[in-house]
Chain A
Amino acid sequence: MTFEVLNMSFALPEMFMLAMACIILLAVAFLGKNGASAAYGLSQLTLAVTAFLIYQSFGESGLTFDGTYIKDTFSDVLKFAICIINIAVLLYSTSYLKARDLFKGEYYVLAIFSTLGMMIMVSAAHFLTIYLGLELMSLCMYAMVAMHRDSMVSTEAAMKYFILGALASGMLLYGMSIIYGVTGSLEIATIAETIQSGGLDNTVLSFGIVFLVIGIGFKLGAVPFHMWLPDVYHGAPTAVTLFIATAPKIAAFAMAIRLLVDGLGDVQQHWQGMLIMLSVLSMILGNVVAIAQTNLKRMLAYSTISHVGFILLGILSGTQAGYAASMFYALVYALMSLGAFGMIILMSRQGFEADNIDDYKGLSSRNPWYALMMLILMFSMAGIPPLVGFYAKLTVIKSIVDINLMSVAIVAVLMSVIGAFYYLRIIKVMYFDKPIQQQQLQAPVDMKVMLSVNALSVFALGIFPGSLLAVCATVFS
């Protein structure tokens, strides 16, 4: 009988984060009024140190906790990205929260716990671990959406999010239990082996896959499971929308890869068709409905739906290059979305939400630098070279062309043309319209610098996309 020593070091970043989350919780409880500032500082420290720990142990890989937890380059890269993005998210949120009397320690506690949930999802090697991570992440986010207690819209959004999210979790669990029934295991690697050895009941298996795909679709926000997304993005305080719209998408992508590729990769033909439908519907609905929006947060919500459609393209291709392309897209999307919601926060001030498209009128005369930053972000989201959003679209479409799904590829490119229209409208408003208000920006310096770095990195990655693409390619090779 072999005796396995628990290799705790593989989960060191998570354990550190958990410990710090508890410390932050205590700090908030004991420090009272000063708790929020302390929580903010400690959260940033936690994220930075966690990112450093991940970076330090980069390249080591293996299973731990009795085969429920995995550390590989895939998880390292994504967890690192999640930490870095959340550092920027917390930085952007702070001024917004302060201006609205929402600057409380709880926001940071929930954010850190939620980040922990994302990291667990990314590193899950077991259905239960995935579920635990997902619930930890989601429950924190439900609470964050409801943080603005007095706002009707926020409360409504939180209710919708909670009910639909719970429903999705239920679907996912049901799917997991069916797969367990067929394969007799909850460990992803064992499931993959069992499927590979054959002799399973394919009908029941695909029945289970349906529910898994529904769960994934909910979490990513793919049509027809997207209903919650515009309302939640619109209703939540912008700082929370920013949080929900960035890192959790990376986690949801990781969940899709863990479940579908790592676990069910051998029955790719069973889930490919479903993903094609989700993807095509998402691209069409997201892009077409976004045109009709006058609220920027809602527009970005529909644009998210369309981006999810593109992310799914790479996964459904079933090739290593396709998975790498999706990963690249998910990372790039998080970066662009971070910048776009960051801009809304930057433009907002006490008692004023800059979430209507008209609020951006004449931005280029009022503030040429940030108009340029927004221009970069919008062209990148539209997928116009030389910005990084183009390479994201290029790689996923390439993976589709390489498996000869030309019709899907044609839908994808046509939808990106339609999508270009509403991004262009933002640029039109900023550059071609006359300003209707003349207020100066009130954001602190650190936020301004971070946002510039954010947008310029979208530009720089567009000129030199090679290194990030190479990282994604090595993960899947």
Chain B
Amino acid sequence: MFTDLPLLSLLIWLPVLGGLAVLLNGDNHWTRPLSLLVSVVTLLLSLGLYAGFDSATHQMQFVEQASWIATFNINYSLGIDGFSMPLIILTAFSTVIVVVAGWEVIQHKVSQYMAAFLIMAGLMIAVFAALDAILFYVFFEAMLIPLFLVIGIWGGPNRVYATIKFFLYTLFGSVFLLLALLYLHHVSGSFSILDFHDVSLSLQEQIYLFLAFLIAFAVKVPMWPVHTWLPDAHVEAPTGGSVILAAITLKIGGYGLLRFALPITPDASMALDWLVIGLSLTAVVYIGFVALAQSDLKKLIAYSSIAHMGFVTLGLFIIFRIFANDTGSSAAVLAVEGAMVQMISHGFIAAAMFLSVGVLYDRMHTREISAYGGVINTMPIFGGFAVFFAMANAGLPGTSGFVGEFMVILAAFNANFWFAFLAATTLILGAAYTLWMIKRVMFGEVENDNVAQLTDINRREFWMLASLAIIVLAIGLWPAPLTEVMHASVENLLSHVSQSKI
């Protein structure tokens, strides 16, 4: 049934055009229902990808191809594999959540706010689906425009600084990606990403290309030490902006490493894996300590995001050490799948954490931890959710946060004991900063009058958080549906990466 429809094009252009429709409709009582309708239809269509997905093959599926810029042989070519499909569904889901989250809070320029997120959803889905390098790059950068406006218009007091920093940081990273793509075209004569995978390159070339990829995607992930834009952007962004930043844009960094750096420059990835592993472990350990010291709720979660994304990059790059140790490919599969699961799971958990902060912020208009205390007394239902998501963030078994981290740590043992040891500190650090925050905000006596006057979450907020809680629990208890769809792609990636391209 779905095979005849150009499903990916629909998924890209429906939210974009829907967003434009919302924008042209202006601010009236149709704005919110129309936005919700567009986002829900997008989500349902994206589930069609899951339904029609053949998890036995690593080949690109739902392929679409059309000539776009004939002069340079740039094509509108789309397709997904086991890496991109879950991320597309995550994007569509997060957009629904963002629309719901902004339902009452956003009163100023509602149509522009909703339109920005819908258009962004289309662009991000396109990033994951693009198989042409220039097409990828166009969407990769175009995505910055709505996010720039969202943070700048609806953000906090220091929003201008934060959004310009965010924009310039990511632009700085991505121009090197552009150079790398142009160079690869120069060598291969094509802009197809899959053709890039097969082109042979000397180690010297690969190292330059790899560094270009690393700059571009490390800024997105973000990896230490190019992470400093993230806490600023998160703190100033409105709740919806934080959710999209944490849930999707960070994943584009990880996805980019998977799609470009590893398969195109495997030898350089192997030669420089110490760099990425080092930066990842720094993110896990050092940023974990930094998170502990935060007094601002959003900043704390932002730093915890950086630490969690450290697992993604760690999982992707320990595979070379596992190959070297010759302990069989199953550990390498575990590492990459762990990284993927961590990306998806972090998408849900970080979104939930930011939404929880949003719930509090909407009521109290402060993010300072010290302004809270004993919230659970006045908001018992919300308190339950918040504690659950905090546990998931800390990696409690049974939640999705545990699965990804555990897989990566397990795989790391096959690479090097000390990698695993350092990575495992997150179990302590993560629990420390999350639970300490929960203790200060949620538990204890009611601190002040403001907290005493809090009202518990309404039905809209309840379902928003409940749906995330269900997914976090579902992936935590039964991750197999998720790992199954990516299995063939992971194996293909590993066999591709293990062959030298020199």
Contact = CB atoms under 8 A, between A and B. Distances in A.
A413 interface: yes
A96 B163 CA distance: 35
A397 interface: yes
A469 B171 contact: no
B159 interface: yes
Given A397-B182, A432-B153, A470-B70, A420 B142 contact: no
B168 A469 contact: no
A391 B163 CA distance: 25
Contacts of A465: 69
B183 interface: yes
Interface string A362-385: 000000000000000001000011
Interface in B130-179: 134, 137-139, 141-142, 144-145, 148-149, 152-153, 159-160, 163-164, 167-168, 171-172, 175-176, 178-179
Contacts of A414: 172, 175
Contacts of B176: 413
Contact of B160 (A385, A386, A390, A432): A432
Contacts of A394: 134, 178, 182
Contacts of B171: 384, 417, 420
A274 interface: no
Given A417-B171, A417-B175, A384 B68 contact: no
Given A398-B185, A413-B179, A417-B175, A431 B153 contact: yes
Nearest to A428: B160
Nearest to A416: B175
B182 A420 contact: no
B330 interface: no
Interface in A390-439: 390-391, 394-395, 397-398, 401-402, 404, 406, 409-410, 413-414, 416-417, 420-421, 424-425, 427-428, 431-432
Interface string B178-202: 1100110110000000000000000
B341 to A, nearest CB: 32
A416 B160 CA distance: 20
B169 to A, nearest CB: 10
Q: Which bracket fits the contact residues of B?
A: 20 to 34
A473 B148 CA distance: 35
A466 interface: yes
A410 B171 CA distance: 14
A428 B164 contact: yes
B499 interface: no
A410 B212 CA distance: 11
Contacts of B69: 391, 465-466, 469
Nearest to A432: B152
A171 B330 CA distance: 72
A163 to B, nearest CB: 39
Given A466-B68, A466-B71, A424 B153 contact: no
A76 B70 CA distance: 22
A385 B168 contact: no
Contacts of B137: 385
Nearest to A471: B71
Interface of B is mostly: helix
Contacts of A406: 179, 183
A385 B142 contact: yes
A473 B182 contact: no
A420 B164 CA distance: 10
A476 to B, nearest CB: 11
Interface string A422-463: 001101100110000000000000000000000000000000
B418 interface: no
B145 A384 contact: yes
A416 B168 CA distance: 10
A384 B141 contact: yes
B141 to A, nearest CB: 5
A466 B70 contact: yes
A459 B453 CA distance: 50
B134 to A, nearest CB: 7
Interface in B62-80: 67-72
Given A413-B178, A417-B171, A386 B70 contact: no
A462 B109 CA distance: 27
A470 B69 CA distance: 8
Contact of B72 (A420, A421, A469): A469
B147 to A, nearest CB: 12
Which of B175, B176, B183: most chain A Cβ within 10 A?
Answer: B175
B89 to A, nearest CB: 24
Given A432-B160, A466-B68, A409 B141 contact: no
Nearest to A410: B179
Given A417-B171, A421-B164, A432 B159 contact: yes
Nearest to B154: A432
B178 A397 contact: yes
A391 B134 CA distance: 10
A424 B72 contact: no
Nearest to A365: B109
A424 B138 contact: no
B164 A413 contact: no
Nearest to A391: B69
B71 A473 contact: yes
A424 B134 CA distance: 23
Pick the 5 closest A-B CB pairs, nearest first: A413-B175, A385-B138, A401-B182, A466-B69, A432-B152
Given A401-B179, A402-B186, 10 more contacts: A385-B142, A386-B142, A397-B178, A402-B182, A416-B175, A417-B175, A421-B164, A421-B168, A424-B167, A473-B71
5 contacts: A391-B69, A395-B72, A406-B183, A409-B179, A424-B148
